Each structure stands twice: as C-alpha cells, then as structure tokens.
Amino acid sequence: MEISLNSIPQTINGEVKLPASKSISNRVLILNALSDSDMPVENLSDCDDTNHMLEVLNSDDCHFNIGHAGTAMRFLTAFLSRIVGRWEITGSERMQQRPVGVLVDALNRLGAHIEYAGQNGYPPLRIYGSYLKGGAIEIPASVSSQYISAILMIAPYMANGLQLTLTGKIVSRTYIDMTIALQREFGAEISVKGHCIHVKPGNYRPVHYRVESDWSGASYFYELLAMTESGQIILPGLLPESLQGDSHQTEVWKQLGVHTRFTSQGVVIERKNSDPTGLKYDFTEMPDLVQSFAVACCIRNIPFEFSGVETLRIKETDRISALITELKKLGYILITGDGSQLIWNGERRQAQTHPRIMTYNDHRMAMAFAPAALKHPGLTIVDQEVVSKSFPTYWEQLSALGLEFT
C-alpha cells in the first residue's frame, strides 16, 4: 500500500507517544528468559522485532521464521545454542542475504554446534543446543555490535565464562555498553578493560524491569521540527541518563535548530532559529539515525559529510544505496566518498513532480522520508506498513501533530 500527505500544518505542536525501546526490550527478553523469571517485562515494545522474539521464546515449536527481524536472528541464534534441542531458524529473503558468519563461527569456537542450512555464512541455520564451554576468543567488532551482544548475554552460562577481545574498529560501542549494563542489572559479573571483556560463569537473577521509551523513534520528530519554521513537541518517557546511545542525538539536532529540554515526564523539543552552513558528524555510535539527518539536511539545504556509516550496508536494506536512490528523486545528488562516508555537497537537480519513495522493506526509510512531504507535497511513501518493525503507531502519531496521510 501507498500513503501520501493530504494536509500541511502551518506549525507543529503536540504530544507524541513513542514506542518502548526495541533495543532494550529485546535484550531484556533474553536476560529474562535466561533467569527463568516469571515476572513480565513492563512497557515492552510492541513492534515486529520484539513480537518475533516473544513468539520464539514462548513457542513449543523448533522451527522459527523471524521475517525481517535482524536483532532477533542474532540474539536467538546465541540463545538457542545453549538451549538443549535441535532448532532451525530462518527469515525473509533479505534476512537470508544478511551475514551471520562472524557470530556462528564465534559460537562454534565456544562449544556450540551450528550448521548452515543453505548458503555458508547466512541464514537459515540449524542449531543443536547444548553445553557451551566458553573460554577466550577474539571477534571482529567492525561488522555488527549485535554479534557481540548476542554472545555476551549467554556468556554467564558458559562453563568457563568468557574472555572476549574485540578486534578492529568497534562500531556501535554504546549498544555493547547497553548490553553489559543490563547484564549487570540481572546479576552478571563483568569486567571491561579497553577492548577486553571478561564475563564470569554464573546465573542471572529475576528482575522487575520497565523499558524506557525509544530514542531512535524520537529522531523522526526532531527531524520534523528541523524542517519547520516553528513548533514544539512533547515526547514522554525519554530519560536523560539513558542506556540508549541514540540519546546523544540531542546535541546534533541542536546544530540544526531543534533544542531539547528534559522534564520529569520526558522531553520537550522546540524549533529555534538556526542557519548552519553544513554538518559534519561521525555516526559510528548512532548509525540508525543517518537517514533522519540526511533527509533533514537535504530538505534544509545544509550540505553534510557523514562518516562511520559502513554498517548501513548490511541493515534491512543497503541504506546507503537506498538513500542515494530515493533522495535523487527529490533532486539531491549524494555520493559515498570512500564507502564509509555519505556526502552531500549541495549538488541539485530537478525533483520529480510526484516522487514515489521506495522503502525496501526498511522501516527507517519510511519514517525518515515521511517528514519530507512538508516540502514535497506530492511525495508518496510506498509500503507504509513497514513501520510496524519498530514503530507500529507512527502514522497515527504524525496525524496527532496535524500531518494527515492517506
């Protein structure tokens, strides 16, 4: 299905109900299951990724299809490797193109027995869950932090614990820090020294946990205000001392004129005057926000140079290629630099009259391009349902702010 904007408000004011953090929800579900807790997790994310996790964790089956849910694929591969039984896990066509070789090789070296049911290095996987011996291992940290988080979460249940050394450039370190912080809340004994992480063998304890709101989801409303002349949006449930690395976005949006004020209930963001001549930023720790900032800067006519974007190649789609293709429809010519960069130097061409933005089964493509309809009224988002992966009520929240999509 397709969706397009049929009314444009003069100013943006209102309150948005953000989803719970998907990143925290999915980690807490694994830790909760490993602790054998019977306490429900409060304010759990109601998104596709988390729902797939719940389905598997609550299932009596041994064959699982997790669709497009990359987090679920990585975390469940590790989780099932230490649950006695024979398991098979697969996903969508795109999921079967996303590499898991680094994770599978590491788990097998730690005592797991995982086979490829199709192409080597990719799902589907056949997992024979059993005893994990653990021990010392090195793993490249430049591909995906989720591989590392997946291994860390099961590490206390390895007979010899885990001595993990991260090699190469560490991407999304804040997500690894989030995992370790949550593990400690559930009782794990972990020490970190530089690139070395040591997890002692032991057990998690049950914890009563409430998930905070999603800072990644907040980025689309910062983006929306960045494209307007004035406005104010209330975002309840966001914490200033958050486990989420995407909370650091506040200082970057400030450069684009969107200021953040913390209250006892959450966050108030407000549009103020700004006229930046460009934006240069390293997104190594916040790669999921590249689409929001790229679209906002183009619409505001702010040239940019983003580095640390190489991991976007293996997300739900190749997000670098997708951004270049779809922003070209709006008249903006982007380049990739050395492959780890995304650059717009201000080059323009005539925009399409009625651009149809493809989402490539990527929720963040849909959500990042929707605010661009403010400046391109003929814009249409193809496959709007894809937002259910992380933010099922996204279109309803835009409607509450006066943006009516039909």
The pLDDT of residue 1 is 56
The pLDDT of residue 312 is 86
For residue 215, is pLDDT > 90? yes
The pLDDT of residue 340 is 84
Nearest by Cα to 52 from 17, 91, 103: 91
pTM above 0.85, yes or no: yes
Catalytic residue, candidates 48, 49, 214, 288: 288
pLDDT band at residue 335, thresholds of 50, 70 and 90?
very high
For residue 305, is pLDDT > 90? yes
For residue 102, is pLDDT > 80? yes
Q: 265-298 as b/e, with b when 16 or more CB fall inside 10 Å?
A: ebbbbebeeeeeeebebebbbbbbbbbbbbbbbb
Nearest by Cα to 343 from 332, 330, 358: 332
Residues present in the chain in total = 406
Strand partners, 404: 7
The pLDDT of residue 378 is 85
The pLDDT of residue 7 is 65
In angstroms, rounded to a whole number, what is the distance separating the alpha carbons of residues 65 and 125? 11
288 is catalytic: yes
